[in-house]
Structure 1
Amino acid sequence: MVMEAIVNYHSHNILPSQCASINMQEIPALISHVWSIIRRFDHPQAYKCFIKECYMRAECIEHLDELNDEHHVMRFSSVGGDHRLTNYQSTISLHQVSDKITVVIESYVIDVPLGVTRENTCTFIDGVIKFSLKALAERMAECL
């Protein structure tokens, strides 16, 4: 099931100047509970602990590219802002693997900034994603 999801939702075209990765986290909760938090594009701080506030503005920083409630898939891209994360595109998909376990898969592709290695770029982004997904898993475990 997980391999099929990776093929269906997490295959990215990667240019030579980009890096990409896939991260997975088991969450001890039903898919409907996890999706109710992740699908809130307008409230990312609900599971992304490093975000303090989020405002909707006329100038878009992140763009919601897809929100599929039936298949539990969200895609978004960074389209501007004061950071070095150029051409960041992310896909998040959720998959119920047992009665009480949901697997969250988050993949991305991003331009490697000038003066930074591909490995350092992926290590940084992977660290942020893993931290957020682990925090979400711990939060959902507390609700049991």
Structure 2
Amino acid sequence: MFCGSGGIGSVRDVKIISGLPATASRERLDKLDDELHIMMVSIIGGDHRLSNYHSTTTLHETEGGLKTVVTESYVVDVPAENSKEDTCTFADTIIGSNLRSLARVTEKMFNHL
């Protein structure tokens, strides 16, 4: 489900398919800068333990624009019942899954040009 115009403040419901103990997340788009290739997102709900999660994703061209490096950084509160390591492992696994999915979609788009 997607609520909003697709711009800043829009909210989307995401189905989590990573195999982790979570099935859904609700995310809000906080910043989108096409010129600087920056996107900032906050998780505002879901059936997971990520609290006060905010991420920044940036794109960086390499090799004369032939390749792109995607960097995602985040901050998140560590729940009382979890360790910092468990919380980071959970977030890193979801991010890794999302970035692999993005790579597959992008490669398919590129191969169809």
CA contact (8 A) 2:31 2:41 kept: yes
What is the TM-score when the length of structure 1 is the normalising length? 0.55
Unaligned runs of 5+ in 2: 1-9
How far residue 86 of structure 1 moved from its aligned partner, in angstroms, is 0.8
Unaligned runs of 5+ in 1: 1-40, 55-60
Structure whose residues are more often strand by fraction? 2
- The answer to whether residue 105 in structure 2 is matched with residue 139 in structure 1 is yes
Alignment partners' CA distance in 2, 1:125 and 1:83 = 10
CA contact (8 A) 1:64 1:76 kept: yes
Q: How many equivalent residue pairs?
A: 96
- RMSD of aligned residue pairs (Cα, Å): 2.9
Higher relative contact order (CA 8 A, sep 6+): 1
Residue aligning to 1:50: 17
CA contact (8 A) 2:37 2:58 kept: yes
Identity among equivalent positions (%) equals: 44
- The answer to whether residue 60 in structure 2 is matched with residue 92 in structure 1 is no
CA contact (8 A) 2:59 2:69 kept: yes
Alignment partners' CA distance in 2, 1:86 and 1:102 = 30
Residue aligning to 2:82: 116
Alignment partners' CA distance in 2, 1:49 and 1:120 = 18
How far residue 53 of structure 1 moved from its aligned partner, in angstroms, is 8.7
CA contact (8 A) 2:55 2:72 kept: yes
What letter corresponds to residue 35 of structure 2 in structure 1?
E
- The answer to whether residue 29 in structure 2 is matched with residue 64 in structure 1 is yes
